[in-house]
Amino acid sequence: MSPTIALILLSLQIITSFLFTATASSSSPPGGFTIDVIHRRSNSSSSRFSKTDDQLGSPYANTVFTTSVYLMKLQIGTPPIEIEALIDTASGIVWTQCLPCLSCYDQQDPIFDPSKSSTYKEKICDQDPNNPCRYEITYVDQSYSKGAYATETVTFQSTSGQPFVMAETTIGCGHNNSLTTPAASGIIGLDRGASSLISQMGENFFSFFSYCFSRKETSKINFGSNAVVSGDGTVSTTMFTKTEKPNFYYLNLDAISVGENRVETMGTPFYSLEGNIIIDSGTTYTYLPDSFCTKVKDAVDSVVKVERSAFSGDMLCYDTADIDIFPVITMHFSGGADLVLDKYNMYDNTGDNYCVAISCVGPTQDAVFGNRAQNNWLIGYDTSSELVSFKSTDCSALY
């Protein structure tokens, strides 16, 4: 193995607001674990969980909303130290800032000091004890982390009353970092890659996780059987993978309705039957390719009868403080998964103006279904069945 491992993640990691159907069965299996977030699928799914899940309980950690992204609370090290890191379904590793710092940003909580943890162990490359395995991650918004790979104990709370402990979890210990969300100590990668948190959880948990984002209160991110989304109102759509970017969760967006006006992807280069948009918890807004994005914005503009306001960039904004004048937007995913979005999800109050929370990107960039559009939806990922399930939910009142 090379002493330097360069990971250039092509996720649209835009971490500020302007950067980065089949109905499931109502049967709920036991076990799994849950992580609280700050700021259940079918009977066949249930049968895959063993009594071990009951014995382990439901591990969980709190999550919080900060400005434009969602952070997960968890503990690392021995004794355990709590960190708050950005939840990112389009990133591949777990990293946090570590002492000593060559160049660290000012984070809200104390920076993790691995010298005070009895379970921290730096990974060695080329069987050379003097050659630690290095990593370097650069995101699209130019945030980055550089440091060393290590194994460390990661701990969650659990409904069993006992801690849920992941020993020897691979993390990145960042000594040179820049992040546009300084409240976060780092990033929790949850993509399909082998080094993501979900992939390191083991066979009892790695196929299932869910979250419910609320901008008002704490909520949860769940793993294992506790993450199965089911019941009345649940809709599901197929997940896809791409050879060129195999770790992302792609969905297929068929159309977007603006009020009663349904704007189809068919007839545009965006049209696909095998996935055309990434669902990404680490990106704030929704990003669509120009060929389709312009049609959606034109449909909004044909309904809104107030003056446009000037804004830097390509955001469509209006001189109004009244969100009620805007049309309801519905996302139509394949399989009949139609998500009727709250107006908050699609319109952003920037002071005296409201802007449509959709931005246009060029043909070489990925379309992204961002976290603002996901607000107040219970969203479950089932990689064993390649399904994402959605259930309209008041996430602040869910737990």
Question: Of 147, 78, 150, which is closest to residue 116 (Cα–Cα)?
Answer: 78
The SS3 of residue 200 is helix
d(CA 347, CA 279) in angstroms, rounded, equals 19
DSSP count for the chain of H helices, then E strands: 4, 29
CA–CA dist 273, 108 (Å, integer):
43
Give the number of other CB atoms < 10 A from CB of residue 116.
12
CB 373 within 8 A of CB 382: no
DSSP-derived letter for residue 39 is -
Active-site residue numbers? 88, 280
Q: What is the CB neighbour count within 10 angstroms for residue 100?
A: 10
In whole angstroms, how far apart are CA 180 and each of 100, 140, 193?
21, 11, 24
Nearest to 344 by CA among 17, 13, 15: 17
The rounded radius of gyration (Å) of the Cα atoms in the chain is: 21
Nearest to 173 by CA among 83, 247, 87: 83
